[in-house]
Amino acid sequence: MYKINLGTNRIEALNVKSFSELRLSERSNLQEWLAHTPQALGEELLIIQKEFDGFDDTRERLDLLALDKEGRLVVIENKLDDSGRDVVWQALKYASYCSGLKKEQIVEIFQQYLHKNIPSDGVIDARQVLREFFGGKDFEEIKLNPGNEQRIVLVAAKFRKEVTSTALWLLGYRVRLQCFKVTPYERAGDLYLNIDQIIPPPEAADYMIGIADKEAADQSDEAEVKTRHQLRFQFWAQALEAVRKSPCRLFDNVSASDRGKAGTGSGIGAVWYEMFFGYNEVRVQLYFDRQSAQENKTMFDLMRNRQEKIERDFGAKLEWQRMDGLKAAQIRYSHDFNGKDSSQWPTMIEWLTNHIAKLELAMKDVLQEIKLQGLGLERVTSPGLAQALQIPDQEIA
């Protein structure tokens, strides 16, 4: 670091010193400087206690405890010329101890700090100071120590490699941790202090946090997918066993899977009976999925012409989804359930078992008619039938 001398238009080197050379102490000096000027750490913090030892079943003391503008607790651990090798572990312990502090406990801790450390003719109300710090919010609206969002700030003149390596690793797991390097300087009897944030580098902090957030989101998505697959497999194992025990023979040879649906043939190629299991509903459906969109739409239209009979046999109004513009088409019936709640599974399985049997009963006559006409299965030689079904000759195969 250099001092600028405008008179000589030169810069003059300041002498780097160690805290021990200057006979400065961690508690009496560095801690007091930060307690009175916490903005030296690059943001507006509110110191609410120092030498805090109010933890159950332990008499360990953290150096400084603060709040940031988001209401998160900030554990500040100070070392002098050497961080030591255990400072991260020490700070993590303190953060874990603080994670259980409730709003009223934090207010009481702060009130004790004000009473002991802030000279005043009267009593300073901690709640009033907190209201001012949080921009005049009503006290009831102020959230303190939300979730597991406690932060850690490490301050030292030198950080060992095992400390910086661990700190960077923790950042990857969304632990909000910062390392500040403090360096004292001396020149002509004057002392100076430089404070640099070295982890994460200020210019890369947002990027590193963003990467950590993305990785955490990816891990959460992967866990969600795995859980969803496990739930589906467990559900289908029970549901297919129940269907096999019913008069319906459609799914006798279908095995449980982790997919959202279980399907089986209808007697016409690529026309499926399907049962669907979702987090919000279950449904039964007939799904037309042949290579030719024309064939799917024609079969759908033929069945739509029998809608009154089909719905009478089924016992309810169906959803007729021709899905124009797409290749497939479907006829379906659904019911809302909470699929994540396994206590509802017996009712859902009973619903599926009953309604897939009803769907087969309602559809099979019309499907048999389509099959006998040879629509999409055998070459139709009768131009009259092709015309009646409105299928171009080149679509008949």
- Mean pLDDT of the 62-88 span: 94
pLDDT of residue 378: 42
pLDDT of residue 386: 38
8-state DSSP, 196 = E
* Unique residue bearing structure tokens 């403090």: 182
- Mean pLDDT of the 175-204 span: 89
Q: Say whether both 41 and 187 belong to one domain.
A: yes
Which position has the higher pLDDT, 371 or 48? Answer: 48
- Cα 46 from Cα 44, distance rounded (Å): 7
pLDDT of residue 395: 33
The CATH number linked to 302 is: 3.30.930
Own/partner contacts of 47-52, CB < 8 Å, gap of 24 or more, are: 47/113, 48/106, 48/109, 48/110, 48/113, 49/109, 49/110, 49/112, 49/113, 50/113, 50/117, 51/27, 52/109
Q: Say whether both 310 and 194 belong to one domain.
A: no
Among 194-203, 210-219, 234-243, which stretch is predicted with the lowest mean pLDDT?
210-219
Which of 166, 200, 234 terminates a domain? The answer is 200
Q: What is the DSSP string of 276-341?
A: EE-SSEEEEEEEE--S-HHHHHHHHHHHHTTHHHHHHHHTSPPEEE--TTSS-EEEEEEEE--TT-
Considering the domain boundaries, does residue 246 fall inside one? yes
Total tally of structural domains belonging to the chain:
2
Q: Do β-strands 10-13 and 62-67 pair in parallel, antiparallel, or remain unpaired?
A: unpaired
Rounded to two decimals, what is the model's pTM?
A: 0.55
The CATH number linked to 99 is: 3.40.1350.10
The amino acid occupying position 36 is: H
The separation between CA 129 and the C-alpha centre of its own chain, rounded to angstroms, equals 34
DSSP count for the chain of H helices, then E strands: 10, 14
Look up residue 242 and give its two tokens.
Answer: 């129940």
Angle between helices 345-373 and 205-244 (to 10 degrees): 70
Considering the domain boundaries, does residue 217 fall inside one? no
pLDDT tens digit sequence for 285-321: 999 999 999 999 999 999 999 999 999 999 999 999 9
Is 379 exposed, middle or buried (CB count within 10 Å of its CB: 0-12, 13-18, 19+)?
exposed
- For residue 293, give its domain range: 225-395
Q: Do β-strands 151-156 and 73-78 pair in parallel, antiparallel, or remain unpaired?
A: parallel
Q: Say whether both 195 and 231 belong to one domain.
A: no
Q: Do β-strands 15-16 and 176-187 pair in parallel, antiparallel, or remain unpaired?
A: antiparallel
pLDDT-derived band of residue 211, with 50, 70 and 90 as boundaries?
low
Among 37-41, 52-56, 80-84, 176-180, which stretch is predicted with the lowest mean pLDDT?
52-56
Q: Say whether both 125 and 267 belong to one domain.
A: no
Neighbouring-strand partners of residue 187: 190
Considering the domain boundaries, does residue 24 fall inside one? yes
Considering the domain boundaries, does residue 61 fall inside one? yes
pLDDT of residue 121: 65
Question: What value, to the nearest 5°, has the Cα angle with vertex 194 and ends 191 and 197?
Answer: 165
Kindly state the percentage of the chain with pLDDT values over 70. 87
| pLDDT, mean over the chain | 87
Q: Say whether both 57 and 15 belong to one domain.
A: yes
pLDDT tens digit sequence for 128-160: 999 999 998 888 999 999 988 999 999 999 999
Q: Say whether both 19 and 107 belong to one domain.
A: yes
pLDDT of 263 over the 70 cut = yes
Helix, strand, or coil here: 149? coil
Among 163-177, 213-227, 265-279, which stretch is predicted with the lowest mean pLDDT?
213-227
CB 124 within 8 A of CB 147: no
73 sits in which H/E element: strand 73-78
- Cα 340 from Cα 307, distance rounded (Å): 34
The separation between CA 105 and the C-alpha centre of its own chain, rounded to angstroms, equals 29
pLDDT of residue 313: 95
Q: Say whether both 179 and 292 belong to one domain.
A: no
- Mean pLDDT of the 15-25 span: 93
CB 282 within 8 A of CB 339: yes
pLDDT of residue 213: 61
pLDDT tens digit sequence for 332-388: 999 999 998 999 999 999 999 999 999 999 999 999 888 877 654 443 333 333 343
- Mean pLDDT of the 71-97 span: 94
pLDDT of residue 397: 28
pLDDT of 268 over the 60 cut = yes
Neighbouring-strand partners of residue 78: 155
